[in-house]
Every structure is written in structure tokens, then in C-alpha cells.
Amino acid sequence: QVQLVESGGGVVQPGRSLRLSCAASGLSFTTYTMHWVRQAPGMGLEWVSVISYNGRFQDYADSVKGRFTISRDNSKNTLDLQMNSLRGDDTAVYYCASSYNFGDSFDYWGQGALVTVSS
């Protein structure tokens, strides 16, 4: 079955960096568009970033543009999110999610990784 497993979460000070990873299995990773979605404690869902199946196209929410970078390694079936200049309002559970095409909704989700930005 499809598994998306996030790793790399933790506690980080404001202004520092953190890198999240998502390992995919059970799906044809090289054909799927991949996303990051986050959820602040007690809040709703917020889309963060997308990368096309071949990595050529990326897009970001305004709230993270210029600070976060999404990337993928199709040879390893992994998705990454490099998060720089972290702020308190970046504190959230970060989910990786897949969509069959660039214009589709999310079909599979990981279990989430908690990122806490605090001094």
C-alpha cells in the first residue's frame, strides 16, 4: 500500500533552519505531483508548496515564499522541504501529500512531522 513517511521535525530556534524529508513507497513516485501542507496547533489546514512530477515546476504559499524550498529526488523516491529563517508562526505539523496530476486534489498523505519554532 502507499506510504508517505515524513522525518526531520523537531524544535528549532527562530531564525534557524530545518529540513524535512518525505519517503514514498507503494506508488509510482516519478509520476506524482507532491505537496507540503501544514497545520498549526488547533488550526485548519494550509497548503505550503508543490513540486511537479519531474521537479521542473515549484510554487509556494506567500507565507513561505523566499524562505522555504521544495525539492525531490526521483531516484530515491524522496521529497524535501528546506525551511530557512523560521518564525514562530511556522510552528505546525507538516504533511507531505501526493496528487496524481498537478491540478488534482491530494490522494495520499503522510502521518505528519511536528516543527516547533521556539527560543
Partner 1 sequence: DIQMTQSPSSLSASVGDRVTITCQASQGIRNDLGWYQQKPGKAPKRLIYAASSLQSGLPSRFSGSGSGTEFTLTISSLQPEDFATYYCLQHNSYPLTFGGGTKVEIK
106 binds partner 1 (CB under 8 A): yes
Q: Which stretch binds partner 1 (CB under 8 A): 11-19, 23-31, 57-65, 70-78?
A: 57-65
Tell me the three cell numbers of residue 48. 505550503
* Residues pairing with 79 in the sheet: 22, 72
Rounded-to-integer distance, Cα 59 and Cα 62, Å: 9
44 binds partner 1 (CB under 8 A): yes
Q: Which is nearer to partner 1, 31 or 63 (CB)?
A: 63
Rounded-to-integer distance, Cα 50 and Cα 71, Å: 9
The residue assigned the cell 522541504 is 81
- Specify the 3-state DSSP secondary structure of 31: helix
Cβ of residue 59: shortest distance to partner 1, in angstroms? 5
95 binds partner 1 (CB under 8 A): yes
Using CB under 8 A as the criterion, what x/- string covers residues 10-39 for binding partner 1?
A: -------------------------x----
Q: Which is nearer to partner 1, 25 or 111 (CB)?
A: 111
Rounded-to-integer distance, Cα 12 and Cα 79, Å: 21
